[in-house]
Amino acid sequence: EEGLHPTQYPWEHYRWVKTFDHQALRRGFQVYREVCSSCHSLKRIPYRSLVGTIATVDEMKALAEENEYDTEPNDEGEIEKRPGKLSDYIPSPYKNDEAARAANNGALPPDLSLMVKARHGGCNYIFSLLTGYPEEPPAGATVQSGLNFNPYFPGTGIAMARVLYDGLVEYEDGTPATASQMAKDVVEFLNWAAEPEMDNRKKMGMKVLTIGALLFALSVWVKRYKWSTVK
């Protein structure tokens, strides 16, 4: 059963002349950290990849050091703990899938690294999902116990409850943290996570077009110049 078709929103970063809004990415990362990361992993993202785009080196180093990682086994085969560093990956909330299911009523919160690409509808779908929980399921709808009604989720019964409420986080840039603002920011952040190369691709595309246009203009001029005596 298909879910309700999500609204198409005018995402700025979908436009081919626009890069990601880095301030929005920074807010979105905060939402991921403070809200989603208690259940969802972001396995493919190392701390270092956020440096420059979303945070400074020092900020990411400090964040990495908040977590402990296993060392390589030493000569006796012992594994010890060491503080995280930039090359480490963002840690997952659970040890493994069994632990994740045990904590979520049997449901598995999927890894979010590629979620924007993995789900039909991408940003529009995830935004609609996060903001689309009605106060009450509509009259006549059946919701299995332990599940929550969300019209955008295929099947409409989703194990994830509504997580975003106005004022849940406090943004350092003063942006009012409404539920829809947080949803927008976290979706843009998740799009960046799935396509961190997008900005470079667009910038390179611009160069290709600009230089291509210049070379084309030059070739037209050269052609006219060379043939001008033949007319």
Which residue in 35, 42, 55, 90 binds ligand HEM (CB under 6 A)? 35
Q: Which stretch binds ligand HEM (CB under 6 A): 38-46, 52-60, 75-83, 193-201?
A: 38-46
Nearer Cβ to ligand HEM, position 165 or 221?
165
Nearer Cβ to ligand HEM, position 133 or 153?
153
Binning the chain into helix, strand and coil, the percentages to the nearest 5 are 45, 5, 50
Q: What values do phi and psi take at 97, rounded to 5?
A: -60, -35
- Would residue 106 be called left, alpha or beta, if left means φ above 0 and alpha means ψ between -120 and 50 degrees? left
CA distance 60 to 50: 7
Comparing C-alpha atoms, which of 83, 25, 31 is closest to residue 52? 25
Q: Supply the minimum distance, in Å, between the C-beta of residue 190 and ligand HEM.
A: 6
Element (H, E) at 199: helix 198-227
Q: Supply the minimum distance, in Å, between the C-beta of residue 69 and ligand HEM.
A: 23
Q: Supply the minimum distance, in Å, between the C-beta of residue 100 and ligand HEM.
A: 8
Q: How far is CA 162 from the centre of its chain?
A: 18
Q: Supply the minimum distance, in Å, between the C-beta of residue 207 and ligand HEM.
A: 34
User: What are the CA-CA distances from residue 132 to residues 113, 137, 168, 213 (Å)?
Assistant: 22, 11, 17, 45
* 144 touches ligand HEM (CB under 6 A): no
Which residue in 50, 90, 115, 194 binds ligand HEM (CB under 6 A)? 115
Count of residues near ligand HEM by CB under 6 A: 22
At 16 the three-state DSSP class reads coil
* x/- track of binding to ligand HEM for residues 189-228 (CB under 6 A): ----------------------------------------
> Do residues 161 and 147 lie in contact, with contact meaning Cβ atoms separated by under 8 Å?
no
Q: Which stretch binds ligand HEM (CB under 6 A): 19-27, 43-51, 78-86, 160-168?
A: 160-168
* 24 touches ligand HEM (CB under 6 A): no
* 123 touches ligand HEM (CB under 6 A): no
Find all residues with CB under 8 Å of 170, minimum gap 6, and list them. 177
Nearer Cβ to ligand HEM, position 50 or 158?
158
**How crowded is residue 155: how many other Cβ atoms within 10 Å of its Cβ?**
11
Q: Supply the minimum distance, in Å, between the C-beta of residue 178 and ligand HEM.
A: 13
Binding stretches for ligand HEM (CB under 6 A): 31, 35-36, 38-40, 104, 107, 109-110, 115, 119, 126, 129-130, 153, 158-160, 163-164, 186
